[in-house]
Amino acid sequence: MTFRATSRVLLFDQDDRTLLFLQYGKSRDVPPRWITPGGGIDPGEDHDQAAIRELQEETGLALASIAPAFHRGDFDPDQRWHPYETGHWAWYAVRVDRFDPVKDGWTESELADVVEWRWFAVDELDDTEYEYEPVELPGLLRQALTTLES
C-alpha cells in the first residue's frame, strides 16, 4: 500500500479568509478541486519543516518558524486526485496580511495543474462550482480560527 505524509497550511488574512488553490490532481480526467497550500514531507524533514518549505514554494511566503499543528491524523486520500492509498497529515494555521502568491517555487506539475487561486470565507466554499479537498475542510477552517483567536 502506498503512503504519503503531508503538511497542510491554512493561511488566514485579517478578514478570516483562507488562501486556496484550484488544482488538478493525478490526471485531468476529473475536474480540479480547491486545496490548501502544503504537500508531502521530503526525506529528513518533519511536518513543521515541510509546512514552512511548502508555504515558501507554493506562495512565496517565507516563515522562520510555524506554530504547532492544530490537527494531526491519518486519512484515506480521495483516489480521484491521488495515487497514494493512505496518508498522515498535520494541519497548521497562520495569520497573514493578504497577499498575491508568487509562482517562483512552483514545480512543473504545479505550473501546469494550478488553474487559479483565491481567498475564501468559510461560508463561500459551498457556493463554488468546484469541490474542495478534504471534504472536512470547512470544519478544519473553523477549528483553525479558534486556535488563532486564543
Give the domain extent around 37.
3-149
Count of domains observed in the chain: 1
User: pTM of the full predicted structure?
Assistant: 0.92
Q: What is the CATH number of the domain that holds 79?
A: 3.90.79.10
**What pLDDT is attached to residue 150?**
62
Q: pLDDT (tens digit, 0 to 9) for every residue of the chain, 150 residues total?
A: 788 889 999 999 999 999 999 988 877 888 999 999 999 999 999 999 999 999 999 999 999 999 999 999 987 777 566 666 788 999 999 999 999 999 999 989 889 899 999 999 999 998 889 999 998 999 999 999 999 976
C-alpha cell recorded at residue 70: 492544530
Backbone conformation region of residue 143, classed left if phi is above 0, alpha if psi is from -120 to 50, else beta: alpha
- CA neighbours within 13 Å on the CB side: how many for 113? 21
Distance CA 49, CA 97 (A): 22
Q: Which residues, at least 6 apart from 120, have a Cβ–Cβ distance to it below 8 Å?
A: 17, 18, 19, 20, 34, 128
What the block records as the C-alpha cell of 71 is 490537527
> Can you read off the three cell numbers belonging to residue 90?
498535520
